[in-house]
Amino acid sequence: MKWTNLTALVLATVFAGPVQADPEAERLALRSLYEQKFPGVDLEEFKNGVYAIDEKMREQWVEMEDFPPYEIAIDEGEELYNTPFTNGKSYADCFGEDPGVKHNYPMFDEAKGEVVTLEVAINNCRQENGEEALPWLVGELAEISAYMAYNSRGNNFEIKIDSPAAIAAYEHGKQFYYTRRGQMNFECRSCHQQNVGYMLRAERISPSLGHATHWPVYRGRWQYIGNIQKRFQECNIQVRAVPFEPQSEEYRNLEYFLTYMSNGMELNGPGSRR
Ligand code: HEC
């Protein structure tokens, strides 16, 4: 083991506790952890989740991607995105000419003092223009998000944490990740770090690095496209914990933390998963 990696591992252990957050050191430590576990896998590959570490599942997935099951959602999303609101304005008035902005989300809104995910930003845009908010997890909101993700493809994530309030939100999200919950008494880490690569029933557990790169996702088991917070709920339910509300402060901060961990990685959403 190179001593730099060893240092990173020690840092990972230290920073997992309730010490002052150093997001950048923590991001590098997480990368090192998976580098140690999967020495043959290029870290950039983790944007493909479990398909980076399971050859057989990867083959099936590559086949599925020949006719991407999320394509319809992108088309629907494009139409929704370009349909003007009743007041004549549109999403472009909120997000600018280029809808490809997903790699900047979630962002910490200093004025509001909270984390704003892309889904929250879309609904804020609607409400500021006199439209009703859309349901959070699936349907039109996920389709608009899919269209925006598609236009953001190829950009690297650039999540910023540059104020004490932003660091506090990140820290809160990190604590969520490292808190035991449910009847199984598992942290996110228990599965996605300590048991990464092992099978849980029919599923192989993926690394947390790259967990945020490819949303929203069309999931075979769902038969539709949904966003990352739907997956948070499932992972909570999996350990028999009560899931939080979509876009609750807990999940927004968790998404902020988890996406920061994917900083510098390429956005490749929308994605498909089994
Ligand atoms: C009991 C084990 C377990 C725990 C605990 C767990 N997960 Fe998962 N998670 C899974 C399995 C299994 C999958 C599906 C296979 C995969 O992609 O890892 C999954 C998938 C995911 C995915 C989607 C991966 C992708 O590539 O699309 C995300 C994101 C995720 N989990 C986040 C979390 C977070 C955040 C927590 C803590 C709140 C958590 N998980 C806790 C087992 C777990």
Residue pLDDT, tens place only, 77-108: 999 999 999 999 999 999 999 999 999 999 99
Report the pLDDT value the prediction gives residue 20, as an integer from 0 to 100: 65
- Cα of 162 vs centre of ligand 1, distance in Å, is 28
Structure tokens at 110: 């200093």
What's the Cα-to-Cα distance from 206 to each of 69, 158, 172, 198, rounded to whole Å?
A: 21, 22, 23, 9
Mean pLDDT score across all residues of the chain: 93
Give the whole-angstrom CA distance, residue 245 versus residue 233. 8
Q: What is the chain's alpha carbon radius of gyration, rounded to the nearest angstrom? A: 18
HSE at residue 227, side-chain half, CA atoms within 13 A, is 27
Q: Which of 60, 102, 64 is nearest to 81 (CA)?
A: 102
> What does the pLDDT look like over 215-248, one tens digit per residue?
999 999 999 999 999 999 999 999 999 999 999 9
Which residue among 219, 235, 253 has the greatest number of ligand 1 atoms within 8 angstroms of its CB, and so is best to mutate? 235
For residue 214, give the ligand 1 atom closest to its CA: 27
Report the pLDDT value the prediction gives residue 192, as an integer from 0 to 100: 98
First vs last C-alpha separation in the chain: 35
> What does the pLDDT look like over 161-193, one tens digit per residue?
999 999 999 999 999 999 999 999 999 999 999
- Cα of 98 vs centre of ligand 1, distance in Å, is 31
Report yes or no: 107 and 160 within 8 Å, Cβ to Cβ: yes
Report yes or no: 272 and 70 within 8 Å, Cβ to Cβ: yes
Judging by beta carbons within 10 Å of its beta carbon (0-12, 13-18, 19+), is residue 130 exposed, middle or buried? exposed
- Cα of 235 vs centre of ligand 1, distance in Å, is 5
Kindly list the protein residues whose Cβ atom lies closer than 6 A to any atom of ligand 1.
Answer: 49-50, 177, 186, 188, 190-192, 200, 203, 205-206, 211, 217, 228, 231-232, 235-236, 238-239, 254, 258, 273
Torsional sign, CA 13, 247, 216, 180? positive
> What does the pLDDT look like over 108-167, one tens digit per residue?
999 999 999 999 999 999 999 999 999 998 899 999 999 999 999 999 999 999 999 999
Report the pLDDT value the prediction gives residue 198, as an integer from 0 to 100: 96
